[in-house]
């Protein structure tokens, strides 16, 4: 699994902590080997595509999709926006013709408010995205806290 950005985050961690995080990633990696890559569009509140989480999406078994009409899942994420902000702003942005809207696969993500970029946060985000795009295969327990499925 390509983890170049994670390797930088792992620098300076004690061995036990690093092993724990690598073991958590290995669990995700092993499970997604046997699953199809899920096409995911990452959008901000103005429906502009985002690439800021592209590595995390890939490591979680997703394939970043630039055409929202081809995305099986749409993840709305914008730095500085809370889940409450997203719930208030997103309904007006949804298009009933999107496959993800038709299949109720719209996800709102708030992962960065008051949080720094660390190895622990990155691994947790990869786990969360795996749970979002492979429902039923992963349960890490952050749904409702850091992210929610949004029924249109």
Res 100: pLDDT: 97
- Whole-number Cα distances in Å, 110 to 18, 57, 62, 71, 115: 25, 15, 18, 20, 10
What is the pLDDT at residue 116?
67
Tell me the DSSP string of 24-53.
HHHHHHHHHTTSPPEEEEEE-TT--B--TT
- 49 vs 13 pLDDT, higher one: 49
CA triple 78-144-24, angle to 5 deg: 85
Q: Which residues pair with 39 in a beta bridge?
A: 63
| Residues forming a β-bridge with 135 | 138
CATH of the domain at 23: 3.40.50.1980
Assigned token pair, 39:
């096409």
* Weakest-pLDDT range from 11-15, 112-116, 131-135: 112-116
Higher-confidence position of 132 and 7: 132
Residue 26: partners with Cβ closer than 8 Å, 6 or more residues away: none
User: Helices marked H in the chain — which ranges?
Assistant: 4-10, 15-32, 54-59, 83-89, 99-102, 119-133
pTM above 0.85, yes or no: yes
State the average pLDDT over residues 120-135: 93
Read off the pLDDT of each residue in 47-74 and give the average, rounded to a whole number: 94
Q: Given pLDDT bands bounded at 50, 70 and 90, which one contains residue 142?
A: confident
Look at the chain and report how many structural domains it folds into: 1
63 near 41, Cβ under 8 Å?
no
Question: Structural domain of residue 113, as residue ranges?
Answer: 4-150
| pLDDT tens digit sequence for 21-49 | 999 999 999 999 999 999 999 999 999 99
Q: Which pLDDT band, with edges at 50, 70 and 90, does 3 fall under? A: low
């Amino acid at each position: 699994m390509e983890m170049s950005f994670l390797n930088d985050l792992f620098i300076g961690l004690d061995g036990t902590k690093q092993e724990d995080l690598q073991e958590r990633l290995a669990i995700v990696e092993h499970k997604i080997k046997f699953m199809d890559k899920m096409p995911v569009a990452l959008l901000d509140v103005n429906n502009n595509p985002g690439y800021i989480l592209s590595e995390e999406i890939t490591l979680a078994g997703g394939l970043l999709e630039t055409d929202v009409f081809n995305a099986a899942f749409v993840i709305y994420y914008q730095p500085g926006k809370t889940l409450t902000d997203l719930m208030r702003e997103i309904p007006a942005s949804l298009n009933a013709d999107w496959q993800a809207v038709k299949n109720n696969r719209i996800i709102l993500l708030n992962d960065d408010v008051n949080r720094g970029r660390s190895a622990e946060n990155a691994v947790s985000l990869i786990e969360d995205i795996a749970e979002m795009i492979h429902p039923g295969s992963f349960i890490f327990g952050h749904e409702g806290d850091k992210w929610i499925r949004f029924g249109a």
